[in-house]
Amino acid sequence: MIAELVTIGDEILIGQTVDTNSAWMAKQLNAIGVDVGQITSIRDARPHILQTLKEAESRGDLILMTGGLGPTKDDITKHVLCEYFQTELVRDPEVLERIENFFRSRGRDVLETNRQQADLPKSCTILDNFVGTASGMWFEKNGKVFVSMPGVPYEMKHLMENQVLPRIKNKFTLPFIVHHTIMTEGVGESFLAELVKDWENSLVEEDIKIAYLPSPGMVKVRLSAYGVDEAVLKEKISRKAKELEELIPNYIFGENDESVEESIADLLKSSGKTVATAESCTGGYLAHLLTSVAGSSKYFLGSFITYSNMSKVKQLGVSAESLEAHGAVSRDVVEQMVMNAREKLSSDFALATSGVAGPDGGTDEKPVGTVWIAIANKEGVYSKKFLFEKNRERNIHRSALAAISLLRRAISGQLKIGLK
Amino acid sequence: MIAELVTIGDEILIGQTVDTNSAWMAKQLNAIGVDVGQITSIRDARPHILQTLKEAESRGDLILMTGGLGPTKDDITKHVLCEYFQTELVRDPEVLERIENFFRSRGRDVLETNRQQADLPKSCTILDNFVGTASGMWFEKNGKVFVSMPGVPYEMKHLMENQVLPRIKNKFTLPFIVHHTIMTEGVGESFLAELVKDWENSLVEEDIKIAYLPSPGMVKVRLSAYGVDEAVLKEKISRKAKELEELIPNYIFGENDESVEESIADLLKSSGKTVATAESCTGGYLAHLLTSVAGSSKYFLGSFITYSNMSKVKQLGVSAESLEAHGAVSRDVVEQMVMNAREKLSSDFALATSGVAGPDGGTDEKPVGTVWIAIANKEGVYSKKFLFEKNRERNIHRSALAAISLLRRAISGQLKIGLK
């Protein structure tokens, strides 16, 4: 069962937009046992769309298109689809009503170009888009399926998750693929591979594939097995995953692409603990991660983003003498930040960051990437100095992940916060 | 002059890697006047590579391939290229020497699989790779050019910049392409198109192409012109861009893919103004955007992330009576937040957000997506209620962008902040 992905629109071909949609879709398809044979990006031009559809049809069983469905004049995909499937556009009253409501509920006028988005090919099954105005379209032709979706990632994902993937599973007989991903942090890829070498060798006889997927601050370990008996696949994958968990318990923070913030949210909720933050170099990113999870008001109380020495003094009562004597990026200052933040908000835990994110501000003694991170509870405080990278964005990201890592270890009892 | 980009390898097709190479290459090609007609990602499999080369040759003048040149067994591209160009592999002594030095200088053994990377097609021009072990290959056939490069982004960029782009400029007579992108916010795609309809119609006679590129909270408008006289293209593009700027000055925040946060950073730096934030529903994301730009300590003083009623009282001195009477998501509370934050940090401006990000916490009166946003300076305060979406992530993102939009309007004098 082979799928072809086709993206339509100039923005990818002129390099203005990176095609993240195709990677996301490929991952979803892979997870349900569909192989992606080719990804093609073309312009919003009639002959090229027609030729590409014909070629994709000759190779694939399922052709998923994104893009080219906006209300403006430069989008012609819908008309070309009518030509390809020898059908015509008809205005769908239900879609029209939804589009009109979409604009009215936002207090905006409905224009004729908006109404035209309710003009859809007669022969397709309309896939309702509840988060935008461009409907998805599902065509069937000689046992092959063609789907057209808007290119806006959010709308495409909504349609894929709620309409396209369930319909694909229904329409095609798919092999079973069982994946299990173990999320690790605090250990590099090659060191991790060395640690689990014997276990990794044992995967061969079980016919399980392993992939190490590193990203800043973490390494995902993905196990995959393919076959006809789902129960057998699940049993061996979960047995091997359990073995790994017993091998390196301290490096594992979650599973199956659970993010660091979702994992810590679960831990905070189940333990009933609350947290506050005091941030210098992370500039609000740590608070953002902690509050990006629904229901975070249960455990997140507040944060002090103290981006200047003055605000460290005013917002958190850090001593001006300490700032003068040790600088903002120091154990002394980050520990005052974390303890004062915890006291001010009466939280169970507090986290603090102070570092040189870069690109400027580095010195020989404190080069770009130097970051102090601290955690406090009512018993005391623990702080640690890190040396990350030369890149500002990655330094901010890794600092926030390292702070969350300390919190995870403290809640789970791996890290003892001493009296001070 | 049309180019085709072909990426070879499984990692993109299973969604493990996002194809950032193609976007980078497309941008470089575009800048020297080469149109990219199609981007194709395929597996490292002989028949598929041969078929793709044939199709690409039928459409393009220049075919740039990346990937499939590693030393491991699954990389067969080089052999398929020999078949396609009816030539054979020969070991190149100079390349062999460079490969051997590459490993020796790193204190590593040279394996036979490494030496085999010096086996290159007889008929190609070898493109020296000084940062890795896979050489680039330049083939010519019936006036068309085929280039094969490694898929490692760093090596591909090295070869493109030092070898491929200079050779393309030398080999082909290229037209000029001039793009100009105008960044707008505060207006939807279709409403914007309606506003500028007459102007848009006037682009046809100038032979200028327009594209609307919407993303959450903003719409980019891209103008493109192709031709032989660069000065003529630049003149007409900048004249038309200026007309647009005069038509909708209040919706434009920047140009040429400048982000909202870079644009406000420039404005804050050039005006010498400082800013502080007080955030409830954005949970630190607004501070994160403002501090994601290098040098933000020049204008960003600090932030209070007050995620609970208690912290609004403790951190910002919001009146408990107001919270009780009007709720946290109210004009009264957001205005106290913004004014108190500005006073506490003595900043020129302060921004505040308080809303229902979702998915829970909505009521009939204040549904999910209801957000109050306020701005204050020393003259007073201005606040506005927004109704965004049902999605938490997008509500947080759009709230932060809307707050920055108010700041931009206030600094540029479009928004008068009244006395209070």
| Residue environment code for B350-383, b if the CB has 16+ CB neighbours within 10 A, otherwise e | bbbbbbbbbeebbeeebebbbbbbbbbbeeebbb
Q: Which helix (H) or strand (E) holds A4?
A: strand A2-8
Whether B344 and A315 lie within 8 Å, measured CB to CB? yes
**What are the structural domains of chain A?**
2-171 (3.40.980.10), 176-255 (3.30.70.2860), 260-411 (3.90.950.20)
Tens place of pLDDT per residue across chain A (420 aa):
899 999 998 889 988 889 999 999 999 998 888 999 999 999 988 999 999 999 999 999 999 999 988 777 667 899 999 999 999 999 999 999 999 998 888 888 888 888 999 999 999 999 999 988 899 999 999 999 999 999 999 999 999 999 999 999 999 988 888 889 999 988 777 778 888 989 999 999 999 988 877 777 788 888 989 888 989 999 999 999 999 999 998 888 888 878 899 999 999 999 999 999 999 999 999 999 999 999 999 999 999 999 999 999 999 999 999 999 999 999 999 999 999 999 999 999 999 999 999 999 999 999 999 999 999 999 999 999 999 888 899 899 999 999 999 999 999 888 989 755
Question: In this structure, which amino acid lies at residue A376?
Answer: A
| Residue environment code for A157-193, b if the CB has 16+ CB neighbours within 10 A, otherwise e | bbbbebbbbeebeeebeeebbbbbbbbbbbbeeeebe
**B34: three-class secondary structure by DSSP:** coil
* Chain A residues closer than 8 Å to B386 by CB: none
Measured at the CA of A241, the angle between CA A240 and CA A244, to 5 degrees, comes to 90
Whether B22 and A16 lie within 8 Å, measured CB to CB? no
> What is the distance between the alpha carbons of residues A159 and A101, in angstroms, rounded to a whole number?
19
* Chain B residues closer than 8 Å to A287 by CB: 283-284, 287, 305, 307
* Chain A residues closer than 8 Å to B52 by CB: 38
Q: Which of residues 307-346 of B touch A (CB under 8 A)?
A: 307-308, 310-311, 314-315, 344-345
Shortest distance between the Cα of B115 and any Cα of chain A, in A, equals: 24
pLDDT, tens digit (0-9, with 9 covering 90-100), for B215-244: 777 899 999 998 989 999 999 999 999 999
Whether B14 and A36 lie within 8 Å, measured CB to CB? yes
**A38: three-class secondary structure by DSSP:** strand
**B125: three-class secondary structure by DSSP:** strand
* Chain B residues closer than 8 Å to A41 by CB: 22, 38-40
- State the best of B1, B14, B371 to mutate against chain A, taking most chain A CBs within 10 Å: B14
What is the distance in angstroms between the CA of the first residue and the CA of the last residue of chain B?
Answer: 62
Residue B420 pLDDT > 60:
no
Whether B296 and A310 lie within 8 Å, measured CB to CB? no
* Chain A residues closer than 8 Å to B391 by CB: 131, 154
DSSP state, residue A109: P
> What is the distance between the alpha carbons of residues A204 and A200, in angstroms, rounded to a whole number?
8
Whether A307 and B304 lie within 8 Å, measured CB to CB? no
CB A23 within 8 A of CB B15: yes
Shortest distance between the Cα of A139 and any Cα of chain B, in A, equals: 23
| pTM score, whole prediction | 0.76
* A306 CB within 8 Å of a chain B CB: yes
* Chain B residues closer than 8 Å to A13 by CB: 26, 35-39
* A393 CB within 8 Å of a chain B CB: yes
> What is the distance between the alpha carbons of residues A302 and B314, in angstroms, rounded to a whole number?
10
